[in-house]
Structure 1
Amino acid sequence: MKNLESREDIELLVNSFYSKVVKDEVIGFFFKEVVKVNWDLHLPKMYSFWESILFGQMSYKGNPMAIHFPINESTAMEKKHFDRWLSLWKETISENFEGENASMAITKSENIAKLMSYKMGMARKI
C-alpha cells in the first residue's frame, strides 16, 4: 500500500473510483443516463478538484454544488445516492492507499457527502 501523495496518485484514485461508479446499480445511472458524462472533460476536473482539496494546489476552478443542482431538479439526488458514492470512494481509497492524505481524502469526502446530501434535499423542499 502506498501513500497518496501526487497528482498521479489522484488520477489513479479517481479513475479507479469512476470505473466502479459507472457499473454501480445505485448511482451509475446518474453518470450514464441522466448526465451522460463526457469523461474526457469530467475526469481532469475531478483530478484538479481532489488535488486542490488534498494538496492545496488550487488547480480546480468551479463550483461543484452549483453543477449538481440542475441534476437534482431533473432526478432527485437522495441520501442513499450520496451514501453509495461515499462507500465506493472509501473502498477505492482503502484498496489503493494509506497514510495521512488517504485519511484526509476520506474525511473530506464524508463532509462533502453530508453537505451535498443536505443541500440537495433542501433544494427539493423549496
Structure 2
Amino acid sequence: MEKEIKHDILDRNDVDLLVRTFYGKIREHETLGPIFDQMVMDWESHFELLTDFWESQLFLAKKYKGNPIKVHQAVDKRINGTLMMEHFGQWLNLWLQTLDQLFEGERAWIAKNRARKIATMLYVNIFENR
C-alpha cells in the first residue's frame, strides 16, 4: 500500500478544502456541532468567510473583513456565557487533525500555530467581555 504524498497549503483552493473538511467534522461533533448549527444559518457564506480569513492568515491576502473577537463574544452572549476553554480545545484538536490529514509543510505548521494563538486569544477576550 502506497503512502499518500501530502503537500503544503499552496493556494485558496487548498484553504477551501481545509475549511470545508474541518467544518464537516465540526458539524458532526457531539458538542461543537449544535453550537455551530445554531449560529450559522448559511454554511456556504460561512465557508467563504472562513476561507477568506485563513487565506489572509496564511498568504497575507487581506481578503478577510471582519472582527472575530466581536463575533465570538456575540456567540457566547447568545448561548448565555457557556463557551468554555474546552470548546476551543475541541475546536483546535479537530483543526490539527484536519491539517494532519490533508497537508504537511511550512504553511500547514503556520496554520496550526495561528490556530493555537487564535483559540487562546478568542477565549481570553470572551472571558474578559463577561
Report the TM-score when normalising by structure 2. 0.91
Identity of aligned residues (%): 33
Give the unaligned 5+ runs of structure 2.
1-5
**Could you say which residue in structure 1 is the equivalent of 2:3?**
none
Deviation digits for residues 50-83 of structure 1 (CA, Å, limit 9, x no counterpart): 0000000101111111111111012121101000
Q: Give me the whole-angstrom Cα distance separating, in 2, the residues matched to 1:27 and 1:51.
A: 23
Q: Give me the whole-angstrom Cα distance separating, in 2, the residues matched to 1:32 and 1:3.
A: 30
Match of 2:33 among 28, 32, 39: 28
Q: Give me the whole-angstrom Cα distance separating, in 2, the residues matched to 1:121 and 1:27.
A: 18
Larger radius of gyration: 2
**Could you say which residue in structure 2 is the equivalent of 1:105?**
111
2:87 aligned with 1:81:
yes
2:49 aligned with 1:49:
no
Give the unaligned 5+ runs of structure 1.
none
Kindly report the root-mean-square deviation, in angstroms, between the aligned alpha carbons of the 2 structures. Answer: 1.0
Report the TM-score when normalising by structure 1. 0.93
- Structure 1 runs of 4+ aligned residues shifted over 3 Å read none
The number of equivalent residue pairs is: 123
